[in-house]
Structure 1
Amino acid sequence: MPSDHTKDRTVVLVDPYSSGVALGRTLRRAGFATHAVLTTPRPDPAYTRTFTAADHAGTTEADLGLAEVLDRIGRMHPVAVLPGAECGVEFADALAARLTPDFANDPERSVARRDKAVMMRTLKAAGIPTIPTVAVDDWRGCAEAAEAAGLSVETGELVVKPARSSLSDGLTLVPKGGDLTAAVRNLLGARNLLGAVNQTVLIQRRMYGTEYVVDTFTQNGRHDVTNVCRYNKVSVGNSFAVYESTDFLPADSPENPALIAYVRRVLDALGVRFGPCHTEVLLTDDGPVLMETGARLSGAGLAGATELATGGSALSRYVHSLRGGASDRTDYTLQRRVRGVYLVFRESGVVSNTAVLDRVQSLPSCRHVHLPLRDGDRVERSTGLMSTMNQGWALLAHRDLDQVEADHAEFRRIQRDLRVRPDEEGSS
């Protein structure tokens, strides 16, 4: 075992929101001090509400400028500089490259790890299969630009999304023959979940297949897999990718070899040298194609669920590496079948009969729940991941897959006993 001299050693977390809160907590429990660097604009309050400045030894505003922040942070002699959330990736890259180069990604490809338009161009240039994509920064002429790239809304469905947001924010399906210009215009200039104004929008061909997430932890350029999950998504109204459940897969699942080999090529092309990545991949009949990679810890509580499923996660691997542990870790082994299941609401309105949700905690495989609804609360029609995470979920875990399947089915039966009374606001 390497010696552990973590006492009073500082790890700098840039924008420690969402999963960055859990990262900070884990590091402090391991004996590190954490210092927060906060960039602007600030993300939506729904994203930042769990952040508490007092959890950290201090905070620094990135608005001071890179040179001033480098000077202040450099005096702390940090062990590492890590992104706490998607919005902190680029500033963390800039600090880490100068202050902790052994724990840093390639600074020349930082934008490619953050901006989905640059990400897709980078992979295409590397010969890696991607979703046909065109990026636009003006709604005027966007349909013509898409058609010139072989993406005609007259011949097939298209997907529109911001280049720099997160959590399915702004993800829009444009049906065949639909109004692509209106979809682009609605996103450009709008403020996204991460607090920034959308300046670039991606137009992509809608691809069909099963969506997976491959989470990794990289040390010295070696990408070890911490978990592979399969997403089950459903259509609700105009939202075509609402999360119904997330299923952790055994390491020997038949899909894994192709998914993992593809993701390792993606991470190499994006210059990933250290830390966790959360990579979403669509497995089509022609093979895997990237949806997006986040060069940071996975959100939505996935790291904690990974601990339950495999006995480890990117959180524990962070601590191992920062304590001086060698890159001798291997890919994951599944210890339990773990599945996250989410309440899905097909209409907005006022909810009642919420007492039935108490039955969820009695399910044999139920490990954790977030079911905050009470009679009289208003629920919104399910859209992206943020809406499902806020309105209710349960984490099921058991060594017997049949038990998880049975409890998943019972969760849906329980939800059917909820009552949602549509009102004028919800039906408008």
Structure 2
Amino acid sequence: MTARTVAIVDPYSSGVLYAPALREAGFRPIAVLSWPLPADSFTATFRANDFDTILTASKNVVPQLTKLKPLAIIPGSESGVALADDLSQKLTPSLAHVPELTPSRSHKGHMAKAISSAGLAMTPTICVRSVQEATAPLTTTEFAGHDLVIKPATSVSTDGVTLVPAGEDWRPAVTALIGRTNATGVTNKEVVIQRRLFGTEYVVNTFSHDGHHVVTDVCRYTKTTTNDSFAVYQDVEFLPADDPMHTDTINYVRKALDALGFRFGPAHTEVMLTNEGPRLVEVNSRLAGSGMAAAAELATGDNGARRTIRYLLGSRDFPATTTLKRSVSVAMFLARHDGVVTNAETLDRIRHLPTCRNLVVNVRNGDKIAKTTDLLSSLRLGWALFAHRDPARVKRDHAQARAYAAELTTL
């Protein structure tokens, strides 16, 4: 019997998990690469040998893909979301999202509009192509006198996310982003301007099937300010998804997924829990990146990729939420300023902490490094993952790793 084909569009980042698991389950994985190519930080993770066939979307990909008769077409990373959405609607419509809402799933401006139109609370948001378009709206009471967050309409990993404190000139931030090539390899034609949210930021990762949204894991982000960058990832902590304290946030996320037309596959949703309740940061129509899907499996025994494959094998028995089996946290390393690394060995000590499950150090003594400004630059420096059934042990080792990382020096 010929193995059934499953196509992964841009199998980068956490998307590399799909192909080996698909092959193990008896499927034939193929890769579809979008064009233009995204940043090297994405494509460097590509594993060409994992795939029987590799297609490039710069050519006439639909006829080529049609001949392979894919059972499903799945985005592997953010750069492949729009193409996977389009191809799945054309070739695998029974496993595709609502076509009419396609722009709302990959464009932050359309996303905010769809959320508001569905009656869900959303921070005030505008989407503009120029400084001139933004001038009048930003004088209204919704924006005037408030901190503003400005970001590309279609990018990823806090790329280009800029904070403009209340009363300061927002025009340079808009000008700097318009026309720039972002991390997904696309030129910014529009930027989104939002009133800044205050609160605790959570992640709710889900798997949708037949329009039902089940939770695979819940995380809490800790972000920090470095120089002129205000949303630099520092820590990620996995939390029990079945804790009643998350009920309102999870219900909000499910309504947001309905509003955006999610029908099949993983989604990665970031939500700020404010004093007024949950508010959407953004939804990503894919697995959580940066190794979070693998960490989720360590924490809960499952993740969105595993559920996707089980669905394709015929399973429909998915619990509404998951139970935390291990305490898992991730510490990301930061560089406060540009310089040359002089004692990278201090990070190597983290490897010997009892609950350290993985350590990635991407610098050596003598390397020139740039200050950390976003998630991508943080990952270029390195990170550590901790896991144990005893949360106290994880917390202790995580704190010790932070102390070691603080000793990293540059000239």
Normalised-by-shorter TM-score class: over 0.9
SS in 1 for 2:192: strand
Runs of 4+ more than 6 Å apart:
none
Deviates more, 1:387-396 or 1:161-170: 387-396
The amino acid of 1:347's aligned partner reads H
**Does the 8 Å contact 2:76/2:286 carry over to 1?**
yes
Q: Which residue in the other structure is 2:94 paired with? A: 102
1:120 alignment partner in structure 2: 112
Match of residue 374 from structure 1: 364
8 Å Cα contact 1:139/1:188 also seen in 2: no
1:365 is aligned to 2:380: no
In structure 2, stretches of 5+ residues that fail to align are none
- Three-state SS of the structure 1 residue aligned to 2:173 is helix
Kindly indicate whether the alpha-carbon contact (under 8 Å) linking 2:202 and 2:219 is maintained by their aligned counterparts in 1.
yes
Query: 1:61 aligned to 2:71?
Result: no
* Counterpart-to-counterpart distance in 2, 1:113 and 1:253: 28
Instruction: State the match for 2:77 in structure 1.
Output: 85
Which residue of 2 is the match for residue 29 of structure 1? 24
Aligned to 1:200: 190
Supply the distance in 2 between the matched residues of 1:284 and 1:61 (Cα, whole angstroms): 43
Rounded to whole Å, the distance in 1 between the matches of 2:11 and 2:169 is 38
3-state SS in 2 of match to 1:331? coil
Secondary structure of the structure 1 residue equivalent to 2:186: coil
RMSD: 1.5
- For residues 224-277 of structure 1, the C-alpha deviation after alignment (integer angstroms, 9 at most, x for no partner) is 100000001111111111111000001343531011000000000101010000
In structure 2, distance between residues paired with 1:328 and 1:296? 18
Measure the CA separation in 2 of the matches of 1:354 and 1:71: 50
In 1, the alpha carbon distance for the partners of 2:88 and 2:295 equals 28
Check if 1:295 corresponds to 2:285. Answer: yes
Greater mean deviation of Cα atoms: 138-147 or 125-134 = 138-147
Within the candidate set 346, 352, 358, 1:356 is matched to: 346
- Structure 1 residue 150 corresponds to structure 2 residue 142: yes
Rate the CA distance shift 1:54–1:265 in 2: closer, same or farther, 3 A: same
Summarize deviations over 1:187-206 as a string: whole Å, max 9, x none: 00000000100011011101
Asked whether 1:76 is paired with 2:76, we answer no
Q: Distance in 2 between matches of 1:395 and 1:218?
A: 27
Using the aligned pairs only, state the percent identity. Answer: 44
1:63 counterpart SS class: coil
**Aligned with 1:87: secondary structure?**
helix
Query: Partners of 1:420 and 1:51 in 2: how far apart?
Result: 31
Structure 1 match to 2:240: 250
Secondary structure of the residue that 1:364 maps to in structure 2? Answer: coil
1:46 alignment partner in structure 2 = 41
How many Å separate the matches in 2 of 1:104 and 1:209?
A: 34
Matching residue's letter, 1:19: S
Amino acid at match of 2:63: D
> What is the rounded CA distance, in whole Å, between the counterparts of 2:6 and 2:141 in structure 1?
44
Please, which of 340, 345, 369 is the counterpart of residue 330 of structure 2? 340
Assess if the C-alpha contact under 8 Å between 1:140 and 1:181 holds in 2. Answer: no
Please tell me whether the aligned partners of residues 178 and 191 of structure 2 are also in contact (alpha carbons under 8 angstroms).
yes
Is the counterpart of residue 217 in structure 1 residue 207 in structure 2?
Answer: yes
SS in 1 for 2:111: helix
Distance 1:182-1:331 versus aligned 2 partners, 3 A rule: same
1:20 partnered with 2:9: no
Deviations 1:1-50 (A, max 9, x none): xxxx7x62110111222222222232223222122222211101111112
User: TM-score scaled by structure 2?
Assistant: 0.96
Letter in 1 for 2:257: L
**Matched pairs, number:** 411
Q: Using the TM superposition, give the Cα deviation of residue 52 of structure 1 relative to its aligned residue in structure 2, in angstroms.
A: 3.6
Equivalent residue, structure 1, for 2:225: 235
